């Protein structure tokens, strides 16, 4: 319970109590202890030139610390009111190092130190009061972790909201299976610009339309097109058109090479089945499945949605209702327009179909009088023809060759 005050070789003024060394001051030269006057709470030192210097050292602090080392907390509590508030933080740190954290929490006046002690002691109430006064994001996160460790999920949710910790909220909501909380988080995160958390929140709930809008609003049009091709085939044409408009500002040739199913359905295998499957799965993803149904629900990687849709159609439990933009002919696949040539600057218009030539009606058969006139003209032509000067050297009249021909 004694206190030892001394100076060392590196010109420090210290005192030792309870196995702890406390530095009172750093000296600029070698000085020697002259004495301590408890009435003035002053410690006096002098140098070789007889210069005298004093330092403040509260006797109440020394008495409190010595009482603590004797485990005499009754005496220590009586001495505590005599210690000024600016010196209580030193006393609190002393108590913490001695392992008396609860007493240190009651003594300290430093909010930061008090919050750290409350966290270590698991005092949620004190931590909440300090975090609310400080309005510190870091303190709210620390308190949220402490609340989760103590299964105080309501307090943890409030703390995560105060800290705007959307990732922590998503973890908490998804772990608890709270669909309402996940839905609220998705909307809040989207307004706050936390697009990754918003996308995952919507996707977990099966709100694929909202997921697609998040991708479109953030300018992720290629990702939106592939997302729509996978989950929302009915939205592919709209997204591809937006992608074309955006890409045309950079590379018009590349924009024109993008194909969409309404124009080039031959490039999208089983397109009609994809539209039907989307309609078939929509009621399922909008229905929340209780957690206790998990053992009886087949995993997604084991399902074949197209086969399920076709089986439901055969059983009459599913009927596909066409949208206003769907083609009325299921067998119209042979009439699809071919894909554009990507080597061209722009999409070429399909060549027009060849038109059939209109044949003139046959001339009427000549009458008997006309036939007689034609025969007379032929006879006159033969009479006037001169065949004496005709060159027949190149004409072969061999009978065998004629027969072979």
Give the residues of the chain that fall short of pLDDT 70.
Answer: 1, 18, 322-405
- pLDDT for 79: 84
pLDDT tens string 336-375: 333 333 333 333 333 343 443 444 444 454 555 555 666 6
CA distance 4 to 2: 7
List helix spans (H) across 150-178: 153-162, 166-176
At 384 the pLDDT is 54
168 near 141, Cβ under 8 Å? yes
pLDDT of residue 91: 85
316-355 exposure pattern, b = at least 16 Cβ within 10 A, e = fewer: eebebeeeeeeeeeeeeeeebeeebeeeeeebeeeeeeee
H-type helices in 292-390, by residue range? 305-315, 368-384
Q: Under a CB-based contact definition with an 8 Å cutoff, are residues 166 and 147 in contact?
A: no
Helix (H) or strand (E) run with residue 360 in it: none
Report pTM.
0.60
Helix (H) or strand (E) holding 262: none
Strands of the sheet with 42-46, listed across from one edge: 32-37, 42-46, 52-56
Rounded distance, CA 67 to CA 73, Å?
Answer: 7
Distance CA 348, CA 255 (A): 14
Express each pLDDT in 170-182 by its tens digit. 999 888 888 888 9
Per-residue pLDDT at 404: 45
Instruction: Pick the closest to residue 231 from 284, 294, 178 (CA basis).
Output: 284
Per-residue model confidence (pLDDT) at position 370: 57
């Amino acid at each position: 319970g004694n206190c030892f005050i001394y100076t060392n070789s590196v010109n420090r003024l210290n005192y030792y109590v309870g196995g702890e060394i406390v530095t009172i001051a750093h000296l600029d030269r070698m000085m020697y202890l002259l004495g301590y006057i408890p009435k003035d709470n002053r410690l006096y030192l002098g140098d070789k030139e007889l210069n005298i210097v004093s330092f403040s050292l509260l006797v109440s602090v020394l008495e409190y610390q010595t009482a603590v080392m004797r485990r005499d907390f009754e005496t220590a509590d009586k001495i505590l009111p005599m210690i000024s508030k600016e010196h209580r933080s030193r006393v609190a740190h002393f108590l913490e190092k001695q392992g008396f954290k609860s007493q240190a929490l009651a003594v300290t006046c430093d909010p930061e130190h008090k919050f750290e002690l409350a966290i270590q002691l698991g005092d949620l109430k004190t931590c909440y009061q300090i975090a609310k006064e400080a309005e510190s994001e870091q303190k709210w996160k620390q308190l949220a972790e402490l609340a989760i460790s103590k299964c105080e999920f309501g307090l943890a949710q409030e703390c995560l909201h105060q800290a705007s910790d959307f990732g922590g909220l998503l973890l908490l909501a998804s772990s608890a299976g709270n669909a309402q909380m996940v839905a609220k988080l998705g909307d809040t995160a989207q307004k706050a610009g936390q697009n990754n958390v918003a996308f995952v929140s919507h996707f977990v709930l099966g709100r694929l339309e909202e997921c697609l809008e998040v991708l479109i609003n953030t300018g992720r049009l290629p990702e939106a097109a592939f997302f729509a091709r996978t989950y929302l085939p009915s939205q592919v044409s709209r997204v591809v058109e937006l992608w074309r408009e955006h890409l045309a500002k950079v590379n018009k040739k590349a924009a024109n090479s993008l194909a969409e199913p309404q124009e080039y359905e031959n490039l999208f295998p089983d397109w009609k089945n994809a539209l039907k499957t989307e309609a078939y799965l929509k009621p399922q993803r909008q229905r929340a499945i209780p957690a206790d149904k998990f053992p009886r629900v087949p995993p997604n990687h084991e399902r074949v949605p197209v086969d399920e849709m076709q089986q439901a159609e055969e059983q009459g439990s599913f009927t596909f209702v066409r949208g206003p933009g769907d083609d009325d002919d299921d067998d119209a696949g042979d009439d699809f327009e071919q894909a554009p040539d990507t080597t061209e600057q722009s999409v070429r218009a399909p060549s027009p179909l060849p038109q059939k030539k209109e044949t003139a009606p046959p001339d009427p058969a000549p009458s008997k009088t006309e036939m007689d006139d034609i025969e007379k003209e032929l006879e006159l032509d033969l009479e006037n023809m001169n065949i004496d000067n005709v060159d027949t050297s190149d004409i072969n009249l061999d009978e065998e060759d004629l027969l072979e021909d």
